[in-house]
Amino acid sequence: MEGPLQTSIHVCHENGQWMSQLPEKLWDIPLYNLALPGSHDTMTYCLDKNSAVSGNESKLVKFLNKCMPCIVHPIIMKWSTTQVLTVTEQLEAGVRYLDFRIAHKANDPSMNLYFVHMVYTTVTVQDILWEVLRWLETHPQEVVILACRNFDGLTRKLHCHLTACIKEIFQCKLCPRNVVPTLRTMWQHGHQVIVSYEEDVEVEAHCELWPAIPYWWGNKTATRALIHYLEHMKRMGRPEKFFVAGINLTENLRYILIHPFGSLKKMTLQSLPCLKIWIRQQDPGPKKECINIIAGDFIGNDDFVKDVIELNTKINPPLHCHSKGAGTKSISFSA
């Protein structure tokens, strides 16, 4: 699998500043009416092989892992890892939605927060927020959406600690939720970060936090079933603002038993050709069946990011959407 991955990383660098290269006709369209690439379970590239199983997992999984760690733990790692690129590499690849599942380890007396997907990560949340900031400082016209979710084991005190860290690190780069987030507006005010927070009490207390972004999760093991689910959700109608169409497949115990030598990566790579066709058929925009964020696993493979970005070439806004004063040179898309 080294060949495709190396190719994708080369392509990544061409997408590192794609927002700044959008044609001017798109600068006044809200970001929730553009097509944005996202990564599902962004931080699983650094899961800790020695980590305990998350406190949020079932008693059965914890028991099996405790009794047969040499067998169960490698299986957990194979089916928990959804990304191989680091967060900086994902941003450089063009990903603009990061799916952060945040947790506090059980019986940990410290205030350290980690990311989690069955097991915990080796890096802390605070370290990754600083890493995102460093990348943004060298890409001043790119905008990133941070979806803070899960919150396994977080007390009110820890929520306050996390929101304080977010505000301290990003400061004026945070876009308040009362702003209509167009690229022109964000550039003019120096905003680069939209933080959605899956905890209503904190959102009400901080104008810099946006409500939780809906995620269309199919919970399917088969590609066709996932596409059927996504088409059903489109017929129901898109949410008014940000939302995510998840093209990630999800294993279950039966699937794992039938595929003893499988992994989430193998499962994902087999589905990509079919999902690629579906992605290219989508349209961004405000209409009922339009899409916004599309998030996937192993985002460095099969031109996923490029295909999502290029959906924006389909947008033809009315003339009254144009306004003057941005002063930034645009680079037109080629279809």
Q: Which residues pair with 119 in a beta bridge?
A: 53, 117
Sequence-ordered list of residues with C-beta below 8 angstroms from that of 185, at least 6 positions apart, any chain: 179, 191
Q: Can you tell me the distance from the alpha carbon of 319 to that of 335, in angstroms, rounded to the nearest whole number?
A: 21
322 labelled catalytic:
no
DSSP state for residue 38 in the 8-state scheme: E
With 0-12 / 13-18 / 19 or more C-beta atoms within 10 angstroms meaning exposed / middle / buried, residue 217 is middle
Instruction: At 189, list the tokens.
Output: 């005010």
Q: Which residues pair with 296 in a beta bridge?
A: 39
DSSP state for residue 263 in the 8-state scheme: -
Is residue 83 a contact partner of residue 296, using CB atoms and an 8 Å limit?
no
A 10 A CB-CB count for 241 gives 18
40 labelled catalytic:
yes
Residue type, 101: R
Q: Can you tell me the distance from the alpha carbon of 158 to that of 136, in angstroms, rounded to the nearest whole number?
A: 26
Instruction: At 286, list the tokens.
Output: 């405000």
Torsion angle, alpha carbons of 270, 5, 148, 192, to 10: -130
Q: Which of 117, 159, 191, 206 is catalytic?
A: 117
Q: Which of 40, 73, 104, 206 is catalytic?
A: 40
Collapsing DSSP to helix, strand or coil, 194 comes out as strand
- Closest listed residue to residue 33, CA positions, set 238, 255, 256: 238
Catalytic residues: 40, 117
